[in-house]
A and B are shown apart, each in its own frame.
Chain A
Amino acid sequence: MKQVFAVLNEMVRDGALEDYAVAGAIGAMFYVEPFSTQDIDVLVIMPEDGIVIELPGIDYLKARGYTEFRNEGIVIEDWPVQFLPATTDLEREAYLNAEISNFEEVPVRVALAEHLVAIMLKVGRPKDLARIQMFLEHDAVKMDKLNDVIQRHGLTEKWADYNRKFAE
Chain B
Amino acid sequence: MKENSEVAKFYRHKDQQRKARAKRPVAEKLAVATKLRDVQQKLAPARAANKAKRAAGKIDIRIKTA
Contact = CB atoms under 8 A, between A and B. Distances in A.
Interface centre among B1, B40, B61, B63 (most CB of A within 10 A): B61
A82 interface: yes
Given A86-B7, A103-B42, 19 more contacts: A29-B40, A29-B47, A31-B50, A31-B51, A38-B32, A50-B6, A71-B14, A87-B5, A88-B2, A88-B7, A89-B66, A90-B66, A101-B50, A102-B45, A122-B5, A127-B15, A140-B50, A142-B54, A142-B57
Nearest to A26: B39
B49 interface: yes
Interface of A: 1, 24, 26, 29-38, 43, 49-51, 71-72, 82, 84-93, 96-97, 101-104, 112-114, 119, 122-123, 125, 127-128, 138-142, 145, 148-149, 152-154
B64 A93 contact: yes
Contacts of B32: 36, 38
Interface in B25-66: 32-33, 36, 39-40, 42-43, 45-47, 49-51, 54-55, 57, 59, 61-66
B40 A113 contact: no
A102 B39 CA distance: 12
B59 A89 contact: no
Nearest to B32: A38
A129 to B, nearest CB: 13
B26 to A, nearest CB: 14
Contacts, number: 121
Contact of A101 (B40, B49, B55): B49
A38 to B, nearest CB: 6
B31 to A, nearest CB: 10
A89 B1 contact: yes
Nearest to B54: A142
Contact of B12 (A43, A125, A142, A154): A125
A97 B6 contact: no
A149 B61 contact: yes
B62 A87 contact: no
Contact of B54 (A37, A102, A113): A113
A138 B51 contact: yes
A144 to B, nearest CB: 9
